[in-house]
Structure 1
Amino acid sequence: MRDRDLVRLYWPVELRPAFDALFAIDDAMADIVASSTQAALGAIRLAWWRDALVRLDSGSPPPEPRLQAAVAELLVQGVTGQDLAALEEGWAHLLDEDADTEAALVRGERLFAMGAKLLRTPNANVAEAGRLFARADYARRGLAPLGACQPITATFERRLRPLTCLAALAARDMRQGGSPFEPEATPGRAARLLSHKLFGGLS
């Protein structure tokens, strides 16, 4: 079981297909970065996804299940193909020989902005929560060092917590420092999700 299997239980039932579609697009780009042995080829593959996502706003999707799910579940919720394509910039930074991890965190901002749009709950602090999630996620995937960041003291409103619970797990990873990382979906991580659901803090 993965952390996301636990997190998925907190997503509103009616929005689970939309969140599944959102994270499937993000995972597609993650898989490219993780499997690319040549940066130039990885960049070409990422660019294919970026361009295909942009075209969703003006035409029918190609016979690619994740793109079709994006049309069926995300575009109807106001998340555009252009919004989804913007994830590519963050992932592309990790293909560079001297990867700029800080610049790559923009992917987390944009991912969380789309999640907040699905939840119809904009919040000024959600961008920083997304950056925190991306930092820990990159490290767990072995794509960038964990590094350090300033703690987020905001308390998130209940409607946003199905999204920001991912940042609560990231904050737990930051406190523990990785090397090695705590296994996913442990009872302790499940308890952290419940605590965030009840109280909304990340610390």
Structure 2
Amino acid sequence: MSAIAPDAPETAAYPDIRDPRVMVAVPRERRPAIAALWALAERLTRLLHDAREPLIGQIKLAWWRDMAALLASDPAALPKGEPLLAELQVTWGGKGGLDTLVDAAEAMLLAEDEAARKAAAAAFGEALFALSGGEGGARWGLLWGASLQQGVADAKQLFADARNEKAPQARSFSDNKALLMLDRWAAAIAARDGERRWRSEGLLLLRLGLFGG
């Protein structure tokens, strides 16, 4: 697994729950925790994107796995000076589960074939959606995985996997409209192999925000 190559077609960034059009659907009291969680997902994604040697990437991911364990068991022992850790300490201190996100990121780092990439990408999305309070993150995860591929063919395969992934029923998101919006938004981007159509995406989010999907 490696980052998008310079000669690859422009590939869409994955939809992010912190987009104001989506975050408005998150209950106000949960927004700080959700924002910190997705900031962690972004940090892990950037780590994968920048990784040139799997071993170095694994060392960095191991550090985050250790931090996830401390967050769950002893938040006061977290090292100081890392702004994201400070946010997570406030919003996720005493809570477990963040290690599942790190594990899925590591699986993506080490994936060497189509099946492994598909499984790791779907697992990352499912873990992130579960931590966000719902289910059904596989299609989003496959789009996320496509954004990390160096080869055009590998990215296109994950776009195709996202298109072929069965659309979850709205109830799968546990009444979490924000996650429903992300899933449907990811599907729309994957349907065009990552090509962005900002106006139609905005209209889709407006419709989903008003009426659901």
Q: Into which bin does the TM-score normalised by the smaller protein fall?
A: 0.7 to 0.9
Q: 1:86 maps to what in 2?
A: 100
Distance 1:199 1:32, change over 3 A: same
2:193 counterpart (153, 177, 194): 177
When normalised by structure 1's length, the TM-score is 0.79
Shift of 1:48: 0.6
2:145 counterpart (117, 138, 143): 138
Shift of 1:95: 1.8
Shift of 1:130: 0.5
- Between Structure 1 and Structure 2, how many residues are aligned? 182
Q: Say yes or no: does 1:192 pair with 2:204.
A: yes
Q: Say yes or no: does 1:73 pair with 2:80.
A: no
Q: CA RMSD in A?
A: 2.3
CA distance in 2, matches of 1:196, 1:151: 18
Q: Report runs of 4+ in structure 1 exceeding 6 Å deviation.
A: none
CA distance in 2, matches of 1:173, 1:141: 15
CA distance in 1, matches of 2:174, 2:99: 28
CA contact (8 A) 2:170 2:180 kept: no
Q: 1:46 maps to what in 2?
A: 61
1:115 counterpart (118, 122, 132): 132
Q: Which has the higher contact order (CA 8 A, sep 6+)?
A: 2
CA contact (8 A) 1:136 1:170 kept: yes
Distance 1:52 1:199, change over 3 A: same
Gaps of 5+ in 2: 1-12
The share of aligned pairs that are identical, in percent, is 26
Name the amino acid aligned to 1:102. Answer: K
Shift of 1:158: 8.3
When normalised by structure 2's length, the TM-score is 0.76
CA contact (8 A) 1:155 1:199 kept: no
Shift of 1:171: 1.0
